[in-house]
Amino acid sequence: MSSSSGPVVLVALVLVVGVLAQGCAFPAPASTVVPAVATNSEPTAVPTTAAAEASQRGASLEGHWEGAVDAAGQTIVTRVDFTTDGGVLAGTVDFPQQLALGLPLAKIEHEAGKVHFEALPQPRTAIFDGELEDNGKITGTFRQAEFEGTFHLERVQTQPAEKVPYHEEEVTFKNADVTLAGTLTLPESASPYPAVVLISGSGPQNRDEELFGFKIFRVIADHLTRRGIAVLRYDDRGVGGSSAGTSQDTTETFAGDVLAGVNYLKGRSEIDPKRIGLLGHSEGGIIAPLVATQSPDVAFVILMSGPGLTGRQIIMEQQKLILKADGSSDAVIAQKSALQNRVIEAALTGKGWDEVKAELRKEFKAAAESAPASQREAMGDVDKWVETMVQSQTGAMQGAWMKFFLTYDPAPTLEQVRVPVLALFGGKDLQVPAEVNRDAILKALERGGNHDFASRLFPEANHLYQNAQTGSPSEYATLKPEFTPGFLDAISEWVLAHPGSSGK
């Protein structure tokens, strides 16, 4: 779900700050920028002939472009979509490695071959200045905060959509003043159908919950709809076709969006109003039980790596596991855990920020000094870079979403859930560790008197339910964009066969 604590393009954090980012749960520890992807980053010479200039001047930017930003010794995969509405250019940019998708572009200019566009508000504004070359590519310079580099983009012809054996419909629904845009997929068999609303994890993301090219929700929706189950998936606030939220939005706010989706489905004649369920991934696994306790129209709940502990507990545990998986020593893990705990305490009490900021400055200063020369050069004024990083870290921790997440305990809500529940976990999930969270969820359901729940563990699966080696988020981009065997069937078979979710 969209939150003010979403990912920061290029500027990554030394410490894990605990953001259930985009269905994956938290950003992994990093030095300065995200992992590199091999690519040729050398800009091509700009043609200067009169013919080339005329070609540039008349060329359109409309369409889908793919390439990369090269800065601080790293390569950030970049995708841009330009459209024209009433003669005015508009567009969005994706940074999939940063879990940032569908970011709206601003200040788009295209004249005499010169191309300029920007994304994100200050002080994180990413600025692209380039030229449309005779060969159809755009190359130029990139700036964001203290980082400078180059970028290159090439127009890519999108493939025609595959003909699928079901109906797809673009839909919108409203929660107060916020409009949510999404896709409703309807089976071709006789209606009415059972239906599922898909609920993403935190951070702004599109209706497909796309991570590193893995369109998680699109694949789930495709599978379920082929099995006779309607699916509603939608863009988070501020992404794609959905309108923006506010900096005060929390998990409870997003529960209202899901409830609006349930109400929308109730008004569709193709949907059986007694068989509408929820599937929540990561933070979505907190939201789904909230909605189920607020609405009598929710027939079942599926938790996909749903948290059973408080955000504070999860953050501390996942940080240790990720650091260990990425090769950190016990001493480093202990030091970073202690600092992380002090950051959380300052966020919750409002006290001790001066001391915390001083410690963070030391951390970022050390990271800068140990970074490769190319990265240090890209940082420019190191002291200024350090201060930017400290403000980014502490600002994210003081947001409304983060404060809610740190203190929210899912157990009391789970105790009130009376509808059938299926809880899914990945054995190599380091974001929402399976054992402790499964135990907490199942005990809460049992305490509340829910006699209709089940759980399923996929031993080799990470937080995205890919077969994994270590489970670390740093591994996600290297794995095949596909689910572990049996995962999809486990969901569809439970929905279709379970009495509480099939209306039998």
The answer to the question of residue 217 being in a domain is no
The answer to the question of residue 194 being in a domain is no
The answer to the question of residue 98 being in a domain is yes
CATH number of the domain where residue 102 is located: 2.40.128.120
CA distance 315 to 182: 31
DSSP class per residue in 174-243: EETTEEEEEEEEEESSSSPEEEEEEE--BSS--TT-EETTEEHHHHHHHHHHHTT-EEEEEPPTTSTTSP
Mean pLDDT computed over every residue of the chain: 85
Q: Can the peptide bond before residue 192 be classed as cis, meaning omega within 30 degrees of 0? A: yes
Q: Quote the number of domains for the chain.
A: 2
Answer with the one of 375, 405, 435 that is the final residue of a domain.
405
pLDDT at residue 370, as a whole number: 85
What does the block give as tokens for 241?
């076709």
In percent, how much of the chain has pLDDT > 70?
Answer: 86
Answer with the one of 156, 185, 205 that is the final residue of a domain.
156
Q: What share of the chain is helix, strand, coil (3-state, %, to 5)?
A: 35, 30, 40
For residue 474, the tally of other CB atoms under 10 A from its CB is 15
Q: Which of 32, 22, 23, 14 is nearest to 426 (CA)?
A: 23
Place of tokens 């994180």: 124
Q: What is the mean pLDDT of residues 390-402?
A: 90
CA distance 444 to 435: 14
Give residue-wise pLDDT tens across range 78-114.
999 999 888 889 999 988 777 677 888 999 999 989 9
Task: Show Cβ contacts of residue 500 under 8 Å, excluding neighbours closer than 6 positions.
Answer: 299, 300, 419, 420, 452
Q: How confident is the model at residue 120 (pLDDT cuts 50, 70, 90)?
A: confident
What does the block give as tokens for 283?
């933070």
CA distance 500 to 274: 10
CA distance 125 to 137: 23
More confident residue, 224 or 161: 224
Question: Three-class SS string for 270-337?
Answer: CEEEEEEEEEEECCHHHHHHHHHHHCCCCCEEEEECCCCCCHHHHHHHHHHHHHHHCCCCHHHHHHHH
More confident residue, 54 or 208: 208
The answer to the question of residue 115 being in a domain is yes
Flag the least confident range among 85-94, 356-365, 428-437, 482-491: 85-94
Q: How confident is the model at residue 185 (pLDDT cuts 50, 70, 90)?
A: very high
Contact 205, 254 (CB under 8 A): no
Q: What is the CA radius of gyration of the chain?
A: 23
The answer to the question of residue 72 being in a domain is yes
Contact 436, 444 (CB under 8 A): no
For residue 103, with 0-12 CB atoms within 10 Å meaning exposed, 13-18 middle and 19 or more buried, which class applies? buried
The answer to the question of residue 243 being in a domain is no
Which of 2-6, 117-121, 149-153 is the most confident on average? Answer: 149-153
The answer to the question of residue 364 being in a domain is yes
Q: Which domain holds residue 380?
A: 311-405
Q: Which of 252, 249, 234 is nearest to 180 (CA)?
A: 234
pLDDT higher than 90, residue 367: no
Q: Which of 207, 217, 139, 148 is nearest to 172 (CA)?
A: 207
Answer with the one of 350, 375, 405 that is the final residue of a domain.
405
pLDDT higher than 80, residue 418: yes
Residue 265 sits at φ, ψ, to 5 deg, of -65, -35
The answer to the question of residue 347 being in a domain is yes
For residues 282, 286, 287, 291, the Cα torsion angle rounded to the nearest 10 degrees is 140
For the packed helices 487-497 and 216-226, what is the interaxial angle rounded to 10 degrees? 40
